[in-house]
Chain A
Amino acid sequence: MKNVILSEDVAKEFIPLVNAMFFSDDEDEVKKLIYELSGINFYGISINCLPKIELKEETSLPIIIVTQESGLRAWQVSLKSSCSLIATNLETREIFFGRPFWDPETETSLEEIDEVKYQKPEGGQAVSILSDATRVDARKVLGLPWTPGRYRFNVVSFDWISNSVDVALEGTVPEEMVPPASVSRLIEPAKSGDGYLPTYLRVSSSPKLQTGASTAADVTVTPKPNPHTQLLVSGSFSVIADETHLPFVAYNIPEIDGVDKNVAAAVPVTLALFVKNSSIPYRFDWKIPIYSERPIKPGDRVEGYFSLDAFRGTEYYLIAGDYVAYLIIEGQIFGPTSYCIT
């Protein structure tokens, strides 16, 4: 048995970039992949798609998702029920979420739809391997606009995350007016004397960044169910600035230390929070200001920090369960950070 582990390697070696595989209606073509997959030592999610799609020639954006898990894991986490397809438009930074394994067309008058929980598997059943391969249309799942753009895709299933794949939608098509999938907003820092959240200053709770990566981020999430549900989020990130981050006009905002800070750049950040066995996230789209007294130019490395209560001003609350949080920034997904509400 080959010792291939990484999702990226599975994608390269086992999901060939053959047009027929992606655009055929024949499900068997895709299912054949699992016969190869079942012989490798891989547990996780791997995805692949064609790197370029001509808008005029195609009407779908197919992505092949292969999964492999143990019998024990299948019992612990429902892979499909927890699965979410995530896309970032690398030009506009819009972020899309969708449920790749949910097909509304076929859920006709279902009487029992809940997954059943059986006895914990043991022995051969626990170590057995479940392999699957599915082709999904990312355009349909995510409601992507059929206009030119570059997208990065990931699939997460609770605490499992796939490799990333990039697709360029190319060609000219009639302009399609669609509302943006996500609009990041800047939540103003708390005023002096009004608590300490939100703040975009580096504080003691700001996670330390691992150095070396072009984009780095870390996040800690602390749910506080009582007396009022809070979801305290502290994050740090480091990215290379580009034109989209720079403000048309420099402006100041007052920070919790009472000092007006010059916003030299602002970076969109999305926090996605999943409860186990659900593919629908709590989603927060923020614009994080980068403070600097000197102007920031495209190509400069910038660091940003944020500490805020994601649930503030909302009526959200968390039911008991296992949760994971991911930070999505510049098309990269960081995490998961896990926690449990009892």
Chain B
Amino acid sequence: MDYEFVFRVGPIGLSGKETSDLEDGTLPRNVTTTPGPTGQVLDLNDQDDVRRLSRGTAGINEEKGKGEAPSPVPDKDDGAAPVPPKPKPNTRKFKLVELIEVYVGVDDDIPEGAVIGAAPANKSGEYSKIFERELFVDSFKQYINLEIDDREDGKRHPDHSRWIALRARIEWADGGKSDLAGKKIRWSFTETPHSESGRPAQLTADQSAGFEPDGRGENLKTTMSTTDDKGWTPVVWFGLSEYAGDQFVIHAAAEPAEDAEDNSVKLNAGPYQVWRKFWAQITQLKNSGIPEPYSAIDSLIDVFAELIFVNTVEISREKLGDEADFCIYPQWMLAPPHPVIGDPDSDALLVRAEKETGKLWEFTERKEFFPNRHIVLANKVTYGTILTPLITHPMSSNEEEYTFNGLSQNQIFVNPLEEKFVAYGAWEIDDTGPYSDFFASKGIPVCEPNSSPKNGTSGLIKDEDIIIKKQRSNQHAVTIKLPDDCPDATQHRIVVTLSLRSVRAISGFADHRLNRTAAKYTRDSNHGTQYAGYRLGRTVTHELGHWFNQVPQQPVAPLGSHATAYTGMGGTGRHCHFGATLITRGNPPQQEWSEGECVMFHVNTDNKDDGFCNNCRPFVHLANMTGKNS
């Protein structure tokens, strides 16, 4: 799209759009308060100034109110008849010599320095402070989700925010560099929308690119600014669109062209490309060998978002102190249902989503940038606990393995837990219960009359009596070791009643309220470490996607509703079923999505891609990625 707005204007006068801009007294920021060539302030909100300009005689050199140039229009109350002005012939030509990108101070119309790279600039050496943009492939990144000085490094970041500040400069064709006030520079831009098919042809007014509006809505497709005595325009603000990947080139040209020595001169700045960026702290166990979730970086670059890992914090038992007992376990205990790779006795990290505070979640070691997100990479991520059924089990020895059948794969036993691992545990001598045949088959006798064991006929089973062994039959097998106060189970009919707490394993979670994300690193023997890294990256991308409001519940203008969003149907929250198969069971049909391809599918399967699908991408391209839940 190339916006070329044609003004029907005289040499200096304002008409058409500009006139209407002035009618209600509000003005574009670029012409409101900029000092004029002689230091005076040309105030276009001031009706006197406007009248002078509209007559085409307002000498920019003239000082406001002093009337150095004769006013052809008397004040309303002087009663004199209007005298038509004699236009002075304008034979001197000027030329557009410079287009410069600048960055501004806190008082946001006062330029502090020049930005070189995207604009041809700083020929005049007007600014000594320089910010240098780096070319990325064929354009310059503009991170529109960030504020120009919202970082903690005390520096301005012209490549942050949606707005780019520009100035142009003219000289006389004969080389003169003064008395240049009042010349008009026309600003326009060329937009190259992102080429993906999902990119809507029209964005909403708020999302669209353009020069700073007059406070009444849409950004302007073109604008005009007036030079000062030295030939400089005031700062002109251009806002990029909000659609990531869109590119823009901004043009400045003399207006009207006949006044310019060479009316074909058009200076360009850009191309600028819409990007977003955020920083994350990674926390992981020291020497965990967990690779960086690199596919997350790649997947986000694919939607023009930069994820920068800063402050990789390695935690250890020593750093965690008492917390370590409940989040660091041997690798083999957390590995099921996947086989252990590497040293099974090495430490592994468990993150429980419901535990919101503690040393594990501290942002530490701030470096250049304060991270927006905190991502903990763990060997196991869990949410909540589930009690097993209460088992009543006849023992035939003092220590034996018991498998809890009927549990889901995502139920994991770990011991110790911060709360009790044993929810209920007891042993008792049972000579009369339903296990008589079983005990008899094992040759375990009933108690002799009047020969009660010295420690009684019942007692408690505690956490220390339940052992999770490295060499257990399966992930739901525990070893029950009868406590010392229990009689010999080979000589007494001992029945154990036991209920345990299991933790519920999940792939990861996104906690927008506390800016927390956790992702599980799966050591997958079938695919090796590299695959595991990608799978981890996929989980990180997925959880960050939730932070970007993926998958949106409500229609998003101008995209409308997400075509493959779903709630429930096997998952929780909003996910994307792109490429998935709908499995229908029952009547009326109960449906579940299976094997989705998008990273926002609710299950992390081999079928899943690392990135966002074509249905999700336009929504991610428009996601704010600011603050917390965007």
Taking Cβ atoms with an 8 Å cutoff, the residues of A that contact B are 1, 31, 34-35, 38-39, 41, 67, 71, 74-75, 78-80, 104-116, 118-119, 121, 123-125, 127-132, 273, 275, 278, 280-284, 314, 316
Given A78-B406, A130-B406, A278-B585, decide whether A123 and B497 contact each other with a Cβ distance below 8 A: no
Chain B 21-32 near chain A by CB (<8 Å), digits 1 or 0: 000000000000
A-B pairs with lowest CB-CB distance, top 7: A112-B409, A280-B586, A128-B393, A132-B389, A130-B389, A74-B405, A111-B507
- B105 contact set on A, CB distance < 8 A: none
Judging by beta carbons under 8 Å apart, are B590 and A280 in contact? yes
- A278 contact set on B, CB distance < 8 A: 585-586
- B499 contact set on A, CB distance < 8 A: 31, 34
- CA A71 – CA B235 in complex, angstroms? 79
- The total number of A-B Cβ pairs within 8 Å is 163
Given A109-B507, A111-B505, A280-B585, decide whether A124 and B394 contact each other with a Cβ distance below 8 A: yes
Given A104-B568, A284-B587, decide whether A109 and B390 contact each other with a Cβ distance below 8 A: no
Judging by beta carbons under 8 Å apart, are B568 and A38 in contact? no
A-B contacts, 30 of them at CB < 8 A, read A1-B434, A35-B390, A35-B424, A35-B497, A41-B434, A71-B393, A74-B389, A74-B406, A104-B572, A108-B573, A109-B543, A109-B604, A111-B520, A112-B337, A116-B337, A116-B407, A116-B408, A123-B396, A123-B438, A124-B435, A125-B393, A130-B389, A130-B392, A130-B406, A131-B392, A273-B587, A275-B585, A280-B585, A280-B586, A282-B586
Judging by beta carbons under 8 Å apart, are B586 and A283 in contact? yes
Judging by beta carbons under 8 Å apart, are A115 and B497 in contact? no
- B474 contact set on A, CB distance < 8 A: 116, 118-119
Q: How far is the CB of A122 from chain B (nearest CB, A)?
A: 11
Judging by beta carbons under 8 Å apart, are A130 and B391 in contact? yes
Q: How far is the CB of A45 from chain B (nearest CB, A)?
A: 13
Q: How far is the CB of A125 from chain B (nearest CB, A)?
A: 6
Given A111-B507, A111-B520, A115-B408, decide whether A125 and B403 contact each other with a Cβ distance below 8 A: yes
Judging by beta carbons under 8 Å apart, are B409 and A113 in contact? yes
- B613 contact set on A, CB distance < 8 A: none
- B585 contact set on A, CB distance < 8 A: 275, 278, 280
- CA A116 – CA B475 in complex, angstroms? 9
- Nearest chain B residue, comparing its CB with the CB of A75: B405
- A104 contact set on B, CB distance < 8 A: 568, 572
Judging by beta carbons under 8 Å apart, are A124 and B392 in contact? no
Q: How far is the CB of A121 from chain B (nearest CB, A)?
A: 7
- CA A254 – CA B603 in complex, angstroms? 53
Judging by beta carbons under 8 Å apart, are A124 and B505 in contact? no
Given A34-B390, A74-B406, A106-B384, decide whether A124 and B396 contact each other with a Cβ distance below 8 A: yes
Q: How far is the CB of A36 from chain B (nearest CB, A)?
A: 11
User: Any chain A CB within 8 A of the CB of B560?
Assistant: no
Name the residue among B389, B395, B507, B520 with the largest chain A CB count within 10 angstroms: B389
- B409 contact set on A, CB distance < 8 A: 112-116
Judging by beta carbons under 8 Å apart, are A128 and B394 in contact? yes
Given A124-B438, A127-B435, A280-B585, decide whether A112 and B393 contact each other with a Cβ distance below 8 A: no
Judging by beta carbons under 8 Å apart, are A116 and B394 in contact? no
Judging by beta carbons under 8 Å apart, are B393 and A105 in contact? no
User: Any chain A CB within 8 A of the CB of B352?
Assistant: no
Chain B 498-517 near chain A by CB (<8 Å), digits 1 or 0: 01000011111100000000
Judging by beta carbons under 8 Å apart, are A109 and B542 in contact? yes
- CA A284 – CA B589 in complex, angstroms? 11
Q: Give residues of chain B (413-455) contacting chain A, Cβ–Cβ below 8 Å.
A: 423-424, 432-435, 438
| 8 additional contacts (CB under 8 A) given A71-B405, A74-B405, A124-B396 | A34-B390, A108-B573, A109-B542, A109-B572, A109-B602, A111-B505, A128-B402, A283-B587
Judging by beta carbons under 8 Å apart, are A118 and B405 in contact? yes
Judging by beta carbons under 8 Å apart, are A118 and B571 in contact? no
- Nearest chain A residue, comparing its CB with the CB of B424: A35
- Nearest chain B residue, comparing its CB with the CB of A67: B389
- A78 contact set on B, CB distance < 8 A: 406
- CA A132 – CA B508 in complex, angstroms? 29
- B476 contact set on A, CB distance < 8 A: 116, 118
- B389 contact set on A, CB distance < 8 A: 34, 67, 74, 130-132
Taking Cβ atoms with an 8 Å cutoff, the residues of B that contact A are 337, 353, 383-384, 387, 389-396, 400, 402-403, 405-410, 423-424, 432-435, 438, 473-477, 497, 499, 504-509, 520, 522, 542-543, 568, 570-573, 585-588, 590, 602-604
- A125 contact set on B, CB distance < 8 A: 393, 402-403
- A282 contact set on B, CB distance < 8 A: 586-587
- A273 contact set on B, CB distance < 8 A: 587
- B572 contact set on A, CB distance < 8 A: 104-109
- A131 contact set on B, CB distance < 8 A: 389-392
- B384 contact set on A, CB distance < 8 A: 106
- CA A105 – CA B571 in complex, angstroms? 9
Give the residue of B403, B520, B590 whose beta carbon is less than 8 angstroms from that of A121.
B403
- Nearest chain A residue, comparing its CB with the CB of B477: A118
- CA A105 – CA B410 in complex, angstroms? 15
Q: How far is the CB of A49 from chain B (nearest CB, A)?
A: 21
- CA A123 – CA B571 in complex, angstroms? 38
Judging by beta carbons under 8 Å apart, are B571 and A109 in contact? yes
Q: How far is the CB of B620 from chain A (nearest CB, A)?
A: 18
Judging by beta carbons under 8 Å apart, are A112 and B408 in contact? yes
Name the residue among A109, A116, A125 with the largest chain B CB count within 10 angstroms: A109
- A110 contact set on B, CB distance < 8 A: 410, 504-507, 571, 602-603
Given A110-B603, A124-B438, A281-B586, decide whether A115 and B392 contact each other with a Cβ distance below 8 A: no
Judging by beta carbons under 8 Å apart, are B408 and A1 in contact? no
Name the residue among A107, A119, A124, A132 with the largest chain B CB count within 10 angstroms: A124
- CA A38 – CA B585 in complex, angstroms? 35
- CA A39 – CA B571 in complex, angstroms? 38
- B435 contact set on A, CB distance < 8 A: 124, 127
Judging by beta carbons under 8 Å apart, are B508 and A1 in contact? no
- CA A250 – CA B571 in complex, angstroms? 50
- A79 contact set on B, CB distance < 8 A: 406
Name the residue among B383, B585, B587 with the largest chain A CB count within 10 angstroms: B587
- A284 contact set on B, CB distance < 8 A: 587
Q: How far is the CB of B572 from chain A (nearest CB, A)?
A: 5
- Nearest chain A residue, comparing its CB with the CB of B396: A124
- A118 contact set on B, CB distance < 8 A: 403, 405, 473-474, 476-477
Q: How far is the CB of B1 from chain A (nearest CB, A)?
A: 40
- Nearest chain B residue, comparing its CB with the CB of A133: B390
- CA A314 – CA B337 in complex, angstroms? 39
Give the residue of A107, A121, A132 whose beta carbon is less than 8 angstroms from that of B390.
A132
Judging by beta carbons under 8 Å apart, are B587 and A38 in contact? no
- CA A108 – CA B539 in complex, angstroms? 13
- CA A275 – CA B584 in complex, angstroms? 13
Give the residue of B392, B506, B522, B604 whose beta carbon is less than 8 angstroms from that of A38.
B392
- CA A75 – CA B389 in complex, angstroms? 13
Give the residue of B406, B473, B520, B587 whose beta carbon is less than 8 angstroms from that of A80.
B406
- A1 contact set on B, CB distance < 8 A: 432-434
- Nearest chain B residue, comparing its CB with the CB of A281: B586
- B507 contact set on A, CB distance < 8 A: 109-111
- B570 contact set on A, CB distance < 8 A: 107, 113
- CA A25 – CA B586 in complex, angstroms? 33
- CA A41 – CA B603 in complex, angstroms? 41
Given A38-B392, A119-B473, A131-B392, decide whether A109 and B586 contact each other with a Cβ distance below 8 A: no
- A109 contact set on B, CB distance < 8 A: 506-509, 542-543, 571-572, 602-604
Q: How far is the CB of B561 from chain A (nearest CB, A)?
A: 21
Q: How far is the CB of A42 from chain B (nearest CB, A)?
A: 11
